[in-house]
């Protein structure tokens, strides 16, 4: 699986993260290398994405470094995204909120209460799309209190 930009020879990881100021050029270089490795295997664990022990150890050291904080890491990506959005007429910001319930992992620290659903984190993401997209399918559920939930599905005009 090629990451976006690899097919045309561009180095997307360098474009996105190469200007991140982590206080040490070696840390920035490691960040770019980690991004490339994770993009090649986005569903892999760290040991799977970084099969060489030296790469895995370097990743753990990177994540343990006090200078490698999310705010600094994201700054390069945010700046690159802003530049990209200025070159297109329409940008769609598609929002999603996901509740990650880690109730069955009691030793995990830094979790919050998910109302009555347990302990975990709430992840709200907003990916941007530069091209148009249509609603393909929508599914809704509803019902009166005490009755069984009813599901409905409606396809887009293009599919009918």
Residue 152 falls inside a structural domain: no
Question: How many distinct structural domains can be found in the chain?
Answer: 1
pLDDT of residue 83: 85
Q: Are the C-beta atoms of 120 and 100 separated by less than 8 Å?
A: yes
pLDDT of residue 111: 80
Residue 150 falls inside a structural domain: no
pLDDT of residue 156: 41
CATH code assigned at 28: 1.10.246.40
pLDDT of residue 148: 45
The domain in which residue 62 lies consists of 1-87
CA dihedral angle for residue 111, residue 98, residue 84, residue 71, rounded to 10 degrees: 0
Q: Are the C-beta atoms of 82 and 19 separated by less than 8 Å?
A: no
Residue 113 falls inside a structural domain: no
> Which residue blocks in the chain are alpha helix, DSSP H?
12-17, 25-40, 46-49, 53-64, 70-85
Q: Radius of gyration over alpha carbons of the chain, in Å?
A: 21
Residue 96 falls inside a structural domain: no
Residue 77 falls inside a structural domain: yes
Residue 40 falls inside a structural domain: yes
Residue 106 falls inside a structural domain: no
Q: How many residues can be counted in the chain? A: 160
pLDDT of residue 121: 82
pLDDT of residue 74: 86
Residue 34 falls inside a structural domain: yes
pLDDT digits (tens), the chain, 160 positions: 444 444 444 688 898 899 899 999 999 999 999 999 999 999 999 999 999 999 999 999 999 999 998 888 888 888 888 888 888 888 888 888 888 888 888 888 888 888 776 888 888 888 877 765 554 444 444 444 443 434 444 444 444 4
pLDDT of residue 50: 96
């Amino acid at each position: 699986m090629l990451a976006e930009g690899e097919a045309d020879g561009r180095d997307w990881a360098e474009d996105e993260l190469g200007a991140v100021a982590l206080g040490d050029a070696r840390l920035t270089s490691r960040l770019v290398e980690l991004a490339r490795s994770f993009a090649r295997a986005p569903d892999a664990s760290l040991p799977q994405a970084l099969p060489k022990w030296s790469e895995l150890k370097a990743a753990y050291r990177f994540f343990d470094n006090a200078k490698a904080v999310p705010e600094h890491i994201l700054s390069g990506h945010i700046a690159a995204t802003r530049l990209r959005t200025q070159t297109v007429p329409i940008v769609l910001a598609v929002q999603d909120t996901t509740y990650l319930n880690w109730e069955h992992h009691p030793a995990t620290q830094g979790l919050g209460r998910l109302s009555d659903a347990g302990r975990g984190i709430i992840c709200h993401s907003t990916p941007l799309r530069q091209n148009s997209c249509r609603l393909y399918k929508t599914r809704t559920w509803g019902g009166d209190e005490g009755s069984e939930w009813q599901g409905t599905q409606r396809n887009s005009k293009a599919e009918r």
